Amino acid sequence: MLHKKFLLPLICCAICVILLCIVFPPAQAASSSEIREQINAMEQEQENLRHEMEKLESQIQQNTDELMALVANKAAIDQQINVLHKQISVSNDQIAAYALLMADKELELEKAEQYLAELNAAYKARVRAMEEEGQYSFWQVLFESRSLSDFLDRLNIIEEIARSDTKRLKQLQFTANLVAQAREELTVEKQALEAARLQLTADQLSLQLKSEQATTIVAELMDKGLEYELLLDQAERDEQALMEELAKLEDDFDDAVYQEWLATYVPPTTAPATPPVSDSGWLTPVTNYRLSSPFGMRPHPILGYDRMHNGIDMACPAWTPIYATRGGKVTIAKYSDSAGNYVQISHGDGYASVYMHMIQYVVSYGDYVAQGQLIGYVGNTGLSKGNHLHFGISYNGTYVNPMEYIG
Protein backbone atom coordinates (compact mmCIF):
# COMPACT_ATOMS: atom_id res chain seq x y z
CA MET A 1 0.00 0.00 0.00
CA LEU A 2 2.83 2.28 0.85
CA HIS A 3 4.50 1.56 -2.50
CA LYS A 4 1.27 2.40 -4.32
CA LYS A 5 1.09 5.70 -2.38
CA PHE A 6 4.49 6.79 -3.76
CA LEU A 7 4.11 5.14 -7.16
CA LEU A 8 0.92 6.98 -8.14
CA PRO A 9 2.50 10.53 -8.06
CA LEU A 10 5.47 9.26 -10.03
CA ILE A 11 3.20 7.84 -12.71
CA CYS A 12 1.28 11.14 -12.87
CA CYS A 13 4.49 13.12 -13.25
CA ALA A 14 5.66 10.84 -16.03
CA ILE A 15 2.35 11.23 -17.85
CA CYS A 16 2.59 15.03 -17.51
CA VAL A 17 6.09 15.02 -18.95
CA ILE A 18 4.97 12.89 -21.90
CA LEU A 19 1.99 15.18 -22.54
CA LEU A 20 4.20 18.26 -22.37
CA CYS A 21 6.59 16.74 -24.89
CA ILE A 22 3.67 15.98 -27.21
CA VAL A 23 2.06 19.40 -26.87
CA PHE A 24 5.33 21.36 -26.70
CA PRO A 25 7.93 19.32 -28.57
CA PRO A 26 11.58 20.35 -27.97
CA ALA A 27 12.96 22.84 -30.46
CA GLN A 28 14.82 21.25 -33.30
CA ALA A 29 18.50 22.09 -33.35
CA ALA A 30 19.58 23.96 -36.46
CA SER A 31 21.31 21.88 -39.09
CA SER A 32 24.86 22.56 -40.19
CA SER A 33 23.63 23.91 -43.55
CA GLU A 34 21.26 26.34 -41.79
CA ILE A 35 24.05 27.48 -39.48
CA ARG A 36 26.38 27.86 -42.49
CA GLU A 37 23.75 30.08 -44.16
CA GLN A 38 23.60 32.20 -41.00
CA ILE A 39 27.40 32.40 -40.94
CA ASN A 40 27.51 33.45 -44.61
CA ALA A 41 24.84 36.09 -44.00
CA MET A 42 26.72 37.43 -40.96
CA GLU A 43 30.01 37.45 -42.86
CA GLN A 44 28.31 39.53 -45.57
CA GLU A 45 26.95 41.82 -42.86
CA GLN A 46 30.46 42.09 -41.44
CA GLU A 47 31.81 42.98 -44.88
CA ASN A 48 29.14 45.67 -45.29
CA LEU A 49 29.96 46.97 -41.83
CA ARG A 50 33.64 47.21 -42.71
CA HIS A 51 32.81 49.16 -45.88
CA GLU A 52 30.68 51.50 -43.78
CA MET A 53 33.57 51.93 -41.32
CA GLU A 54 35.97 52.72 -44.18
CA LYS A 55 33.47 55.28 -45.49
CA LEU A 56 33.19 56.84 -42.02
CA GLU A 57 36.98 57.00 -41.69
CA SER A 58 37.16 58.73 -45.09
CA GLN A 59 34.46 61.19 -44.03
CA ILE A 60 36.30 61.88 -40.78
CA GLN A 61 39.51 62.60 -42.71
CA GLN A 62 37.69 64.85 -45.20
CA ASN A 63 35.92 66.66 -42.36
CA THR A 64 39.27 67.14 -40.58
CA ASP A 65 40.85 68.56 -43.74
CA GLU A 66 37.95 70.98 -44.23
CA LEU A 67 38.12 71.99 -40.58
CA MET A 68 41.87 72.68 -40.72
CA ALA A 69 41.51 74.72 -43.95
CA LEU A 70 38.63 76.72 -42.46
CA VAL A 71 40.52 77.37 -39.23
CA ALA A 72 43.49 78.67 -41.27
CA ASN A 73 41.17 80.88 -43.35
CA LYS A 74 39.49 82.23 -40.21
CA ALA A 75 42.90 83.01 -38.71
CA ALA A 76 43.76 85.05 -41.83
CA ILE A 77 40.42 86.89 -41.62
CA ASP A 78 40.95 87.68 -37.95
CA GLN A 79 44.41 89.01 -38.78
CA GLN A 80 42.93 91.27 -41.49
CA ILE A 81 40.33 92.48 -38.98
CA ASN A 82 43.12 93.41 -36.55
CA VAL A 83 44.96 95.30 -39.30
CA LEU A 84 41.79 97.18 -40.29
CA HIS A 85 41.09 97.96 -36.65
CA LYS A 86 44.53 99.55 -36.39
CA GLN A 87 43.97 101.46 -39.65
CA ILE A 88 40.62 102.75 -38.39
CA SER A 89 42.28 103.81 -35.15
CA VAL A 90 44.96 105.69 -37.14
CA SER A 91 42.27 107.25 -39.34
CA ASN A 92 40.34 108.39 -36.28
CA ASP A 93 43.52 109.93 -34.89
CA GLN A 94 44.08 111.71 -38.21
CA ILE A 95 40.51 113.01 -38.22
CA ALA A 96 40.96 114.23 -34.65
CA ALA A 97 44.22 115.96 -35.68
CA TYR A 98 42.45 117.56 -38.65
CA ALA A 99 39.71 118.69 -36.32
CA LEU A 100 42.31 120.47 -34.18
CA LEU A 101 43.90 121.89 -37.33
CA MET A 102 40.53 123.07 -38.56
CA ALA A 103 39.92 124.69 -35.18
CA ASP A 104 43.21 126.55 -35.57
CA LYS A 105 42.29 127.51 -39.14
CA GLU A 106 38.89 128.66 -38.00
CA LEU A 107 40.61 130.88 -35.41
CA GLU A 108 42.90 132.26 -38.13
CA LEU A 109 39.89 132.78 -40.37
CA GLU A 110 38.07 134.57 -37.62
CA LYS A 111 41.07 136.89 -37.16
CA ALA A 112 41.29 137.41 -40.93
CA GLU A 113 37.58 138.14 -41.14
CA GLN A 114 37.90 140.50 -38.17
CA TYR A 115 40.81 142.27 -39.91
CA LEU A 116 38.76 142.38 -43.12
CA ALA A 117 35.87 143.85 -41.21
CA GLU A 118 38.18 146.43 -39.63
CA LEU A 119 39.62 147.41 -43.05
CA ASN A 120 36.17 147.60 -44.46
CA ALA A 121 34.96 149.75 -41.55
CA ALA A 122 37.97 152.09 -41.87
CA TYR A 123 37.44 152.42 -45.60
CA LYS A 124 33.75 153.17 -45.09
CA ALA A 125 34.60 155.75 -42.38
CA ARG A 126 37.08 157.53 -44.63
CA VAL A 127 34.65 157.56 -47.56
CA ARG A 128 31.91 158.84 -45.29
CA ALA A 129 34.23 161.62 -44.03
CA MET A 130 35.09 162.58 -47.62
CA GLU A 131 31.42 162.66 -48.48
CA GLU A 132 30.75 164.87 -45.48
CA GLU A 133 33.63 167.20 -46.32
CA GLY A 134 32.86 167.23 -50.05
CA GLN A 135 34.53 165.71 -53.08
CA TYR A 136 37.94 166.98 -54.13
CA SER A 137 38.47 167.71 -57.78
CA PHE A 138 41.57 168.77 -59.67
CA TRP A 139 40.16 172.27 -60.26
CA GLN A 140 39.21 172.65 -56.58
CA VAL A 141 42.75 171.76 -55.55
CA LEU A 142 44.11 174.21 -58.19
CA PHE A 143 41.95 177.23 -57.38
CA GLU A 144 41.91 176.72 -53.64
CA SER A 145 45.70 176.47 -53.44
CA ARG A 146 47.34 179.60 -52.13
CA SER A 147 50.60 178.88 -53.90
CA LEU A 148 52.26 176.42 -56.22
CA SER A 149 53.78 174.69 -53.26
CA ASP A 150 50.36 174.38 -51.60
CA PHE A 151 48.95 173.04 -54.88
CA LEU A 152 51.64 170.34 -55.08
CA ASP A 153 51.12 169.37 -51.47
CA ARG A 154 47.39 169.02 -51.99
CA LEU A 155 47.95 167.01 -55.17
CA ASN A 156 50.36 164.65 -53.34
CA ILE A 157 47.75 164.15 -50.64
CA ILE A 158 45.14 163.20 -53.23
CA GLU A 159 47.53 160.73 -54.90
CA GLU A 160 48.48 159.24 -51.51
CA ILE A 161 44.83 158.69 -50.68
CA ALA A 162 44.31 157.00 -54.05
CA ARG A 163 47.31 154.73 -53.52
CA SER A 164 46.12 153.87 -50.03
CA ASP A 165 42.66 153.01 -51.34
CA THR A 166 44.15 150.77 -54.03
CA LYS A 167 46.40 148.98 -51.51
CA ARG A 168 43.55 148.42 -49.10
CA LEU A 169 41.37 147.05 -51.87
CA LYS A 170 44.10 144.58 -52.81
CA GLN A 171 44.51 143.51 -49.17
CA LEU A 172 40.79 143.02 -48.89
CA GLN A 173 40.76 140.87 -52.04
CA PHE A 174 43.80 138.82 -50.91
CA THR A 175 42.35 138.19 -47.47
CA ALA A 176 38.99 137.16 -48.93
CA ASN A 177 40.69 134.72 -51.34
CA LEU A 178 42.84 133.29 -48.50
CA VAL A 179 39.80 132.69 -46.34
CA ALA A 180 37.89 130.95 -49.18
CA GLN A 181 40.87 128.75 -50.16
CA ALA A 182 41.60 127.66 -46.58
CA ARG A 183 37.97 126.73 -46.00
CA GLU A 184 37.80 124.74 -49.24
CA GLU A 185 41.05 122.80 -48.53
CA LEU A 186 40.00 121.89 -45.02
CA THR A 187 36.56 120.81 -46.19
CA VAL A 188 38.02 118.56 -48.95
CA GLU A 189 40.58 116.96 -46.64
CA LYS A 190 38.00 116.30 -43.96
CA GLN A 191 35.57 114.76 -46.47
CA ALA A 192 38.35 112.51 -47.82
CA LEU A 193 39.23 111.32 -44.32
CA GLU A 194 35.60 110.67 -43.49
CA ALA A 195 35.16 108.67 -46.70
CA ALA A 196 38.29 106.61 -45.96
CA ARG A 197 37.13 105.94 -42.41
CA LEU A 198 33.68 104.88 -43.63
CA GLN A 199 35.28 102.49 -46.15
CA LEU A 200 37.53 101.00 -43.47
CA THR A 201 34.54 100.54 -41.18
CA ALA A 202 32.58 98.85 -43.99
CA ASP A 203 35.53 96.53 -44.69
CA GLN A 204 35.82 95.68 -41.02
CA LEU A 205 32.10 94.87 -40.79
CA SER A 206 32.37 92.65 -43.89
CA LEU A 207 35.35 90.76 -42.48
CA GLN A 208 33.66 90.50 -39.10
CA LEU A 209 30.66 88.88 -40.81
CA LYS A 210 32.97 86.42 -42.59
CA SER A 211 34.69 85.62 -39.30
CA GLU A 212 31.35 84.94 -37.61
CA GLN A 213 30.28 82.73 -40.51
CA ALA A 214 33.59 80.83 -40.29
CA THR A 215 33.09 80.38 -36.55
CA THR A 216 29.63 78.93 -37.19
CA ILE A 217 30.96 76.53 -39.84
CA VAL A 218 33.84 75.48 -37.57
CA ALA A 219 31.32 74.60 -34.86
CA GLU A 220 29.22 72.66 -37.39
CA LEU A 221 32.27 70.74 -38.64
CA MET A 222 33.33 69.93 -35.09
CA ASP A 223 29.82 68.64 -34.33
CA LYS A 224 29.86 66.62 -37.55
CA GLY A 225 33.30 65.20 -36.69
CA LEU A 226 32.04 64.18 -33.25
CA GLU A 227 29.01 62.55 -34.88
CA TYR A 228 31.28 60.61 -37.26
CA GLU A 229 33.47 59.50 -34.33
CA LEU A 230 30.42 58.28 -32.41
CA LEU A 231 29.15 56.41 -35.47
CA LEU A 232 32.58 54.83 -35.99
CA ASP A 233 32.75 53.78 -32.32
CA GLN A 234 29.29 52.24 -32.61
CA ALA A 235 30.29 50.44 -35.84
CA GLU A 236 33.39 49.05 -34.13
CA ARG A 237 31.26 47.81 -31.23
CA ASP A 238 28.81 46.28 -33.70
CA GLU A 239 31.69 44.57 -35.50
CA GLN A 240 33.04 43.20 -32.21
CA ALA A 241 29.59 41.85 -31.28
CA LEU A 242 29.26 40.39 -34.78
CA MET A 243 32.64 38.67 -34.53
CA GLU A 244 31.70 37.19 -31.16
CA GLU A 245 28.42 35.94 -32.59
CA LEU A 246 30.27 34.53 -35.60
CA ALA A 247 32.67 32.69 -33.30
CA LYS A 248 29.69 31.19 -31.45
CA LEU A 249 28.07 30.21 -34.74
CA GLU A 250 31.32 28.54 -35.85
CA ASP A 251 31.25 26.49 -32.63
CA ASP A 252 27.57 25.69 -33.23
CA PHE A 253 28.46 24.68 -36.79
CA ASP A 254 31.17 22.29 -35.59
CA ASP A 255 28.76 20.84 -33.02
CA ALA A 256 26.05 20.44 -35.67
CA VAL A 257 28.46 18.72 -38.05
CA TYR A 258 29.54 16.39 -35.27
CA GLN A 259 25.94 15.62 -34.24
CA GLU A 260 25.04 14.91 -37.87
CA TRP A 261 28.05 12.62 -38.12
CA LEU A 262 27.05 10.87 -34.91
CA ALA A 263 23.55 10.33 -36.29
CA THR A 264 24.95 8.38 -39.22
CA TYR A 265 28.11 6.93 -37.66
CA VAL A 266 28.17 3.20 -37.10
CA PRO A 267 31.24 2.16 -35.09
CA PRO A 268 32.98 -0.99 -36.29
CA THR A 269 32.04 -4.04 -34.26
CA THR A 270 35.62 -5.29 -34.22
CA ALA A 271 37.10 -2.08 -32.80
CA PRO A 272 38.23 -2.30 -29.18
CA ALA A 273 36.27 -0.30 -26.66
CA THR A 274 39.35 1.69 -25.68
CA PRO A 275 42.80 2.10 -27.28
CA PRO A 276 45.52 -0.15 -25.98
CA VAL A 277 47.97 0.91 -23.29
CA SER A 278 51.62 0.08 -23.76
CA ASP A 279 53.80 -1.64 -21.20
CA SER A 280 55.34 1.73 -20.35
CA GLY A 281 51.92 3.12 -19.50
CA TRP A 282 51.23 5.24 -22.65
CA LEU A 283 47.82 4.86 -24.34
CA THR A 284 47.54 4.86 -28.14
CA PRO A 285 45.50 8.06 -28.92
CA VAL A 286 43.38 6.54 -31.77
CA THR A 287 42.20 3.10 -32.85
CA ASN A 288 42.39 1.43 -36.26
CA TYR A 289 45.01 3.80 -37.62
CA ARG A 290 47.63 3.41 -40.32
CA LEU A 291 51.09 4.85 -39.74
CA SER A 292 51.36 7.11 -42.80
CA SER A 293 54.52 8.99 -41.80
CA PRO A 294 57.07 8.03 -39.13
CA PHE A 295 59.20 10.17 -36.81
CA GLY A 296 62.35 11.77 -38.29
CA MET A 297 63.58 13.58 -41.41
CA ARG A 298 61.30 13.34 -44.44
CA PRO A 299 60.27 15.24 -47.59
CA HIS A 300 57.37 17.42 -46.48
CA PRO A 301 54.20 16.28 -48.35
CA ILE A 302 53.08 19.86 -49.05
CA LEU A 303 56.16 22.08 -48.81
CA GLY A 304 58.24 19.63 -50.87
CA TYR A 305 61.59 19.93 -49.08
CA ASP A 306 63.18 17.79 -46.36
CA ARG A 307 62.40 18.80 -42.81
CA MET A 308 62.21 17.16 -39.41
CA HIS A 309 58.93 15.39 -38.65
CA ASN A 310 58.57 15.78 -34.87
CA GLY A 311 55.92 13.11 -34.47
CA ILE A 312 54.03 10.42 -36.31
CA ASP A 313 51.06 10.68 -38.68
CA MET A 314 48.24 8.26 -37.84
CA ALA A 315 45.86 8.05 -40.81
CA CYS A 316 42.24 7.25 -39.95
CA PRO A 317 38.73 8.41 -40.93
CA ALA A 318 37.42 11.86 -40.07
CA TRP A 319 35.70 12.16 -36.72
CA THR A 320 37.66 9.25 -35.27
CA PRO A 321 37.80 9.90 -31.50
CA ILE A 322 41.13 11.02 -30.06
CA TYR A 323 42.01 10.12 -26.45
CA ALA A 324 44.59 11.54 -24.05
CA THR A 325 47.64 9.32 -24.09
CA ARG A 326 48.23 10.12 -20.39
CA GLY A 327 46.58 12.24 -17.76
CA GLY A 328 47.63 15.87 -17.33
CA LYS A 329 46.77 19.56 -17.84
CA VAL A 330 45.70 21.07 -21.16
CA THR A 331 48.26 23.82 -21.90
CA ILE A 332 47.15 24.57 -25.50
CA ALA A 333 43.76 24.25 -27.19
CA LYS A 334 43.53 26.51 -30.24
CA TYR A 335 43.81 26.84 -34.01
CA SER A 336 47.08 27.28 -35.95
CA ASP A 337 47.60 27.83 -39.69
CA SER A 338 50.00 24.87 -39.81
CA ALA A 339 48.71 22.57 -37.03
CA GLY A 340 45.03 23.37 -37.53
CA ASN A 341 42.94 22.66 -34.44
CA TYR A 342 45.36 21.16 -31.93
CA VAL A 343 45.74 20.33 -28.24
CA GLN A 344 48.81 20.01 -26.04
CA ILE A 345 48.80 18.22 -22.67
CA SER A 346 51.49 18.58 -20.01
CA HIS A 347 51.88 15.40 -17.98
CA GLY A 348 53.80 16.99 -15.10
CA ASP A 349 56.99 14.93 -15.26
CA GLY A 350 58.74 16.71 -18.12
CA TYR A 351 56.67 14.91 -20.71
CA ALA A 352 54.06 16.55 -22.95
CA SER A 353 51.93 15.22 -25.81
CA VAL A 354 50.50 17.09 -28.81
CA TYR A 355 47.56 16.25 -31.11
CA MET A 356 47.23 18.16 -34.41
CA HIS A 357 44.88 18.62 -37.42
CA MET A 358 41.71 17.89 -35.39
CA ILE A 359 38.37 18.65 -36.95
CA GLN A 360 37.29 19.64 -33.45
CA TYR A 361 38.66 19.57 -29.92
CA VAL A 362 36.40 19.17 -26.87
CA VAL A 363 38.71 20.41 -24.10
CA SER A 364 39.81 23.90 -23.09
CA TYR A 365 42.98 25.52 -21.88
CA GLY A 366 43.54 24.77 -18.19
CA ASP A 367 41.39 21.61 -18.13
CA TYR A 368 42.73 18.53 -16.33
CA VAL A 369 42.15 15.32 -18.28
CA ALA A 370 42.55 11.67 -17.36
CA GLN A 371 44.27 9.01 -19.43
CA GLY A 372 41.85 7.76 -22.08
CA GLN A 373 39.59 10.85 -21.83
CA LEU A 374 38.15 12.11 -25.13
CA ILE A 375 39.88 15.32 -26.21
CA GLY A 376 38.79 15.69 -29.87
CA TYR A 377 38.24 14.14 -33.28
CA VAL A 378 40.49 13.40 -36.25
CA GLY A 379 40.29 15.90 -39.10
CA ASN A 380 42.17 17.61 -41.92
CA THR A 381 42.64 21.18 -40.64
CA GLY A 382 45.77 23.28 -41.06
CA LEU A 383 48.66 22.24 -43.32
CA SER A 384 47.37 18.74 -44.13
CA LYS A 385 46.61 16.63 -47.20
CA GLY A 386 44.12 14.20 -45.67
CA ASN A 387 42.37 13.06 -42.51
CA HIS A 388 44.97 12.03 -39.94
CA LEU A 389 46.29 12.71 -36.45
CA HIS A 390 49.76 14.15 -36.02
CA PHE A 391 50.78 12.79 -32.62
CA GLY A 392 53.94 13.94 -30.87
CA ILE A 393 55.66 13.45 -27.51
CA SER A 394 58.31 15.77 -26.05
CA TYR A 395 60.53 15.46 -23.01
CA ASN A 396 61.81 18.67 -21.41
CA GLY A 397 61.02 20.51 -24.64
CA THR A 398 62.73 18.01 -27.02
CA TYR A 399 60.61 15.84 -29.29
CA VAL A 400 61.09 12.08 -29.07
CA ASN A 401 59.82 9.17 -31.18
CA PRO A 402 56.25 8.42 -29.99
CA MET A 403 56.46 4.80 -31.21
CA GLU A 404 58.99 4.07 -28.47
CA TYR A 405 56.26 4.96 -25.91
CA ILE A 406 52.99 3.68 -27.37
CA GLY A 407 54.58 0.56 -28.96
CB neighbour list of residue 381: distance below 8 Å, 6 or more residues apart: 335, 340, 341, 357, 358, 359
pLDDT tens for each residue of 125-149 = 766 665 565 555 555 655 666 666 7
Question: SS3 of 386, please?
Answer: coil
Residue 145: CA atoms inside 13 Å, Cβ hemisphere, count? 17
Mean pLDDT along residues 65-91: 78
Q: Cβ of 298: how many Cβ atoms within 10 Å?
A: 13
pLDDT recorded at residue 376:
94
pLDDT band at residue 315 under the 50/70/90 scheme:
very high
Least confident of 8-12, 203-207, 284-288: 8-12
Mean pLDDT along residues 29-34: 76
pLDDT(356) > 50: yes
d(CA 82, CA 380): 76
Question: SS3 of 217, please?
Answer: helix
Residue 170: CA atoms inside 13 Å, Cβ hemisphere, count? 6
CB 172 within 8 A of CB 120: yes
Mean pLDDT along residues 181-190: 77
pLDDT recorded at residue 22:
45
Write down the pTM of the prediction. Answer: 0.38
Q: What is the chain's mean pLDDT, rounded?
A: 77
CB 324 within 8 A of CB 376: no
Q: Cβ of 313: how many Cβ atoms within 10 Å?
A: 23
pLDDT(358) > 60: yes
pLDDT band at residue 4 under the 50/70/90 scheme:
very low
Mean pLDDT along residues 47-56: 85
d(CA 324, CA 258): 19
CB 141 within 8 A of CB 154: yes
Backbone angles phi, psi at 270, to 5 degrees: -90, -5
pLDDT band at residue 391 under the 50/70/90 scheme:
very high
Of 328, 309, 407, 321, nearest to 358 (Cα)?
A: 321
